[in-house]
């Protein structure tokens, strides 16, 4: 095992700047009167914290920037985008008024002067105040005029729309938004009276929260606009958010195990924590939106549209073994169909994130071959156990080494390492895990902000497994996963199959401040080939269909992400060249999946998902929307039944049938052993397909008889590719490799 490099782990000392100089700033003209609103004011502590943040950013961030007019301009644009990205609150005259700050925010930051930031934030608060007051008056006085029969449309993506020029133009936009909300509730089965009552309560709650805003809200919004101009992973955490971040990092949170973020007025799921309650419940996916939260089986559903993210998180958290019900809009539903799911809260335990093994049997040229599969949800290590020298402490490398030894005793013909949706974890474990498959040598390079490059090596000459192998990845495979997959690919040690990975190739550290913490990017990862894993990620040798939208998920989808680049290679010996095998392997792969029901189903799902993403507007006619939804659901049902028919499975009469089967399956899973549940989680019988086609449900056949378990189509195809690889001579390559020092 190698030790983590001290240079990456030590905390850098920085000077505390305490001089605060104030200056006068032009004030934005008075806003339109509305509900009384008390402006927020910056604090002295925030002024001191600002200077600490800027000192850290300018001296310690990987991307060396200067505090000048160019950075000031970027900060103003980022702030306006963070506040009103959908261009639904500010008027064009407001934006014109903010121009006085375009080249002055750098001076304000240098002095710790938060007055310009608070002027902008207070006007934003006032504009939100006016909009909520307007829509509440509409519900009170004009609700009966909303017939939902207009032939108008609502623009979905407004990031590039012009700023509204008048209050009348804003009123028209908000009438459309209100109409859309009514249609969503109508399609969900709400009566008119209940619909108006719910919406009134929703907007009144948002208005109440607006008046509960604190100076720290304005400060965090502004400082994250500042940090975001350096890169998307550099963030300021207020004292409250620092506590939340530390809880999540310790894995001691009793909740559902989901990473959430605010997006406009919604709370969106970013990813699920492997082994967490949500991941095991199989009913929540990345990009789903949470619009309501209820406690227990019978608690009242609380509408959380427009809530602060930390308040939504507080509602979702709760005691271990308690039930939380979430009303969600699935990413696959077309933006208007919601459903309610239940998740039992629990702690995320290390053993539930641990690597698991399986063997899949594949028919290959008339023979049954056995391919070992090791699923690694995250790169974990029990730091406390290692510090205490416990002989049985858990880690990814230790667990995988044990599983490989067990699989070798079962005479496997090849090995698949499944890193799909593995978001990373311990860098040390990524390096030591790579060492199980290669002799001693470099694994990853780390370049610091001053250009110094550190090569991190596997120092253990033993190769535990020298047979043929593949690594399966997808868009949510990130960070440590990309280091491992990239090293396997660069050494020619095995094939990488699946989807292009996330592209998270930067290193962050936490630094304490007078108020809160700063998470700052201080280094960048590079593969031994010299290519960065940043932004581009790892490109698979053979690509599988993916339901992930690269425009919305992945490093390249993040604003101002650091670019991909290269440095000098660190390979000490010429790697085994596998590119010559790729064309033939790809040809055989495409031949196999051409008529494969599961891959046809995945491609059809991708077509549907792409069509939904390409929609730029929504009809504001309830019957048109109803017809669109029915047509969409009918196509989904057709695709599912086509797959079922091709596989000899019973057909469904409706998508609801599958939902009922899914609930029954999940209830049955609770009584099965862990191994059975692992297999069922990987079944390919699903209504709402997981990203990259990984499925999450097991349907039951007609009557009381259960259907046979389905294999994971992607793993099975990865097994076929691996066996083709063996037939093409990979066995001789691995034999040569095991005798080489590389």
- The DSSP line for 255-295 is E--EEEEEETTEEEEEEE-TTSHHHHHT---TT-EEEEEEE
DSSP 8-state assignment for residue 531: B
CB 538 within 8 A of CB 500: yes
* Residue 479 annotated as catalytic: yes
Q: Which of 418, 490, 531, 724 is catalytic?
A: 490
Token look-up 């306006």 returns 80
Number of Cβ atoms within 10 Å of the Cβ of 426: 20
Whether 533 and 563 have beta carbons less than 8 Å apart is answered as no
Identified catalytic residue from 72, 479, 665, 695: 479
504 is catalytic: yes
List Cβ neighbours of 470 (8 Å cut-off, separation of 6 or more).
Answer: 414, 415, 416, 417, 494, 495, 496, 497, 718, 721, 722, 725
Q: Pairing mode, if any, of strands 414-418 and 367-375?
A: parallel
Q: Token pair of 324, please?
A: 């939380």
Query: Is 692 one of the annotated active-site residues of the chain?
Result: no
In contact, 450 and 470? CB cutoff 8 Å: no
Q: What is the largest CA-CA distance in the chain?
A: 83
Among 268, 280, 504, 680, the one annotated catalytic: 504
Nearest in space to 221 (alpha carbons), one of 237, 209, 240: 237
Q: Which helix (H) or strand (E) holds 680?
A: helix 674-681
Three-state SS string over 185-241 comes to HHHCCCCHHHHHHHHHHHHHHHHHHHCCCCHHHHHHHHHHHHHHCCCCCCEEECHHH
In terms of Cβ atoms closer than 10 Å to its own Cβ (0-12, 13-18, 19+), residue 453 is middle
> In this structure, what DSSP letter does residue 164 have?
P
Tokens for 396? 């990814």
The SS3 assignment for 249 reads: helix
**Reduced 3-state DSSP string for 683-716:** CCCCCCCCHHHCCCCCCCCCCCCCCCCCCCHHHH
Which residues are known to be catalytic? Answer: 479, 490, 504
């Amino acid at each position: 095992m190698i030790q983590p490099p001290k240079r990456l782990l030590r905390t850098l000392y920085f000077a505390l700047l305490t001089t605060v100089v104030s200056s006068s700033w032009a004030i934005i003209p008075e806003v339109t009167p509305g509900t009384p609103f008390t402006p927020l004011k910056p604090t002295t502590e925030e002024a001191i914290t600002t200077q600490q943040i800027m000192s850290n950013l300018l001296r310690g961030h990987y991307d060396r920037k200067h505090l000048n007019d160019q950075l000031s301009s970027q900060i103003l644009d980022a702030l306006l985008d963070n506040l009103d990205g959908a261009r639904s609150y500010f008027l064009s005259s407001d934006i014109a008024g903010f121009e006085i700050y375009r080249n002055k925010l750098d001076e304000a930051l240098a002095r710790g002067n938060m007055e310009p930031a608070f002027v902008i934030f207070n006007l934003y608060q006032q504009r939100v105040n006016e909009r909520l007051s307007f829509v509440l008056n509409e519900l009170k006085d004009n609700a009966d005029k909303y017939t939902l029969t207009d032939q108008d449309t609502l623009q979905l993506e407004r990031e590039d729309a012009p700023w509204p020029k008048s209050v009348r133009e804003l009123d028209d936009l908000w009438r459309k938004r209100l109409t859309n909300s009514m249609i969503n509730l109508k399609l969900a089965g709400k009566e008119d009276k209940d619909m108006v009552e719910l919406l009134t309560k929703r907007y009144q709650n948002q208005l109440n929260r607006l008046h509960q805003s604190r100076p720290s809200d304005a400060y965090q919004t502004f400082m994250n606009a500042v940090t975001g101009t350096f890169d998307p992973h550099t963030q300021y955490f207020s004292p409250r958010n620092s506590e939340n971040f530390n809880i999540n990092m310790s894995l001691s949170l009793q909740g559902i195990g989901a990473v959430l973020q605010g997006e406009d007025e919604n709370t969106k799921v970013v990813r699920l924590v492997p082994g967490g309650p949500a991941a095991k419940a199989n009913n929540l996916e990345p990009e789903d939106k949470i619009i309501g939260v209820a406690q227990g089986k019978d608690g009242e559903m609380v509408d959380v549209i427009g809530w602060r993210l930390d308040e939504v998180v507080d509602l979702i958290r709760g005691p271990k073994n308690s039930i939380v019900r979430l009303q969600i809009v699935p990413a696959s539903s077309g933006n208007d169909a919601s459903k309610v799911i239940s998740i039992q809260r629990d702690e995320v335990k290390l053993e539930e994130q641990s690597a698991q093994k399986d063997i899949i049997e594949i028919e290959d040229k008339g023979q049954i071959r056995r391919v070992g599969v090791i699923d690694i949800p995250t790169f974990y290590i029990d730091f406390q156990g290692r510090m205490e020298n416990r002989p049985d402490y858990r880690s990814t490398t230790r667990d995988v080494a044990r599983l490989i030894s067990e699989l070798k005793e079962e005479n496997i013909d090849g090995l698949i390492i499944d890193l799909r949706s593995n978001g990373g974890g311990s860098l040390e474990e990524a390096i030591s895990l790579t060492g199980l498959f290669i002799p001693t040598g470099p694994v990853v390079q780390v370049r610091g902000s001053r250009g110094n490059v550190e090569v991190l090596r596997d120092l253990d000459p033993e190769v535990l497994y020298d047979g043929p192998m593949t690594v399966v990845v997808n868009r949510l495979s990130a960070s440590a996963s990309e280091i491992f997959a990239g090293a396997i690919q660069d050494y020619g040690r095995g094939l990488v199959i699946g989807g292009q990975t996330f592209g998270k190739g930067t290193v962050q550290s936490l630094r304490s401040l007078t108020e809160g913490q700063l998470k700052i990017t201080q280094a960048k990862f590079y593969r031994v080939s010299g290519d960065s894993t940043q932004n581009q990620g790892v490109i698979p040798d053979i690509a599988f269909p993916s339901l992930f939208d690269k425009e919305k998920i992945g490093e390249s989808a993040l604003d101002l992400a650091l670019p991909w680049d290269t440095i000098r290679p660190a390979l000490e010996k010429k790697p085994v060249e596998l590119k010559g095998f790729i064309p033939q392997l790809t040809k055989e792969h495409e031949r196999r999946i051409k008529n494969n029901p599961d891959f046809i189903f995945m491609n059809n799902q991708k077509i549907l998902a792409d069509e939904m993403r390409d929609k730029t507007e929504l009809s504001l006619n309830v019957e048109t929307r109803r017809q669109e939804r029915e047509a969409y659901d009918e196509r989904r049902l057709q695709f599912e039944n086509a797959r079922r028919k091709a596989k000899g499975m019973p057909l469904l009469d409706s998508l609801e049938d599958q939902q009922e089967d899914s609930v029954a399956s999940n209830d049955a899973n609770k009584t099965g052993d862990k191994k059975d549940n692992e297999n069922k989680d990987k079944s390919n019988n699903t209504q709402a397909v997981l990203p990259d086609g990984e499925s999450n449900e097991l349907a039951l056949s007609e009557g009381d008889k259960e259907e046979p378990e389905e294999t994971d189509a992607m793993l099975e195809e990865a097994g076929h590719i691996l066996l083709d690889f063996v037939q093409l001579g990979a066995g001789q390559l691995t034999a040569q490799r095991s005798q080489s020092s590389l």
